[in-house]
Amino acid sequence: MTDLRIRPGGPKDLDAVLAFWKTAAEGTSISDDREGVERLVSRDPEALLLAERDGELVGTVIAGFDGWRCHLYRLAVHPDHRRRGIGSALLAAADERFVRLGGRRGDAMVLVRNERAQHAWRAAGYEPQEQWRRWVKHLTD
C-alpha cells in the first residue's frame, strides 16, 4: 500500500470531503456542512485525516482530541476502494495522533444499523460498550 498517502485535510479540501461523504459515508450529521467542517479544521488543523491514492480522495476519518478523550468520526472509504486496508491505515494514523497527544483510549460513534461498520470497528480492535447510551440535545433549530 505504498501508493496510499494520509495527510491532514485543510480548507482547500472541504468541498471534496463533503462530496466524498455523500458517496462513501453512512448517514449524515448536523455538522456535515461546510461551516461545520471549516470550524473543525480551524480549531484543530490535524483532526481531519484524508487518504489519497494517485491524488484521488479514497478515505477519511476525523480524529478529534479534546484534551481528555479521543473521538473518531466519519471513518469512510470510497465503495470502489474498500477491503484494501485504507480504513486500517486511517485508524493507525489516528491512533498515532492520539498517542502523540497523550490520549489513552479512542472511541467511535457507529450507527447501530451499519453492520459493515460494526464489523470494521471490531476488526480494528474496538468493542461496543453496551452499558452506555448516547444522549443528544440539538443546540440550534
Per-residue pLDDT tens over the stretch 5-38: 999 999 999 999 999 999 998 777 777 788 999 9
Q: Which amino acid, residue 61?
A: V
**Residue 115: pLDDT band with limits 50, 70, 90:** confident
> Is the pLDDT assigned to residue 81 strictly greater than 60?
yes
Distance CA 107, CA 36 (A): 20
- Residue 2's pLDDT is what? 63
Residue in the block written with cell 498515532: 96
- Residue 134's pLDDT is what? 78
Instruction: Calculate mean pLDDT across residues 105-130.
Output: 88
**pTM of the entire structure?**
0.90
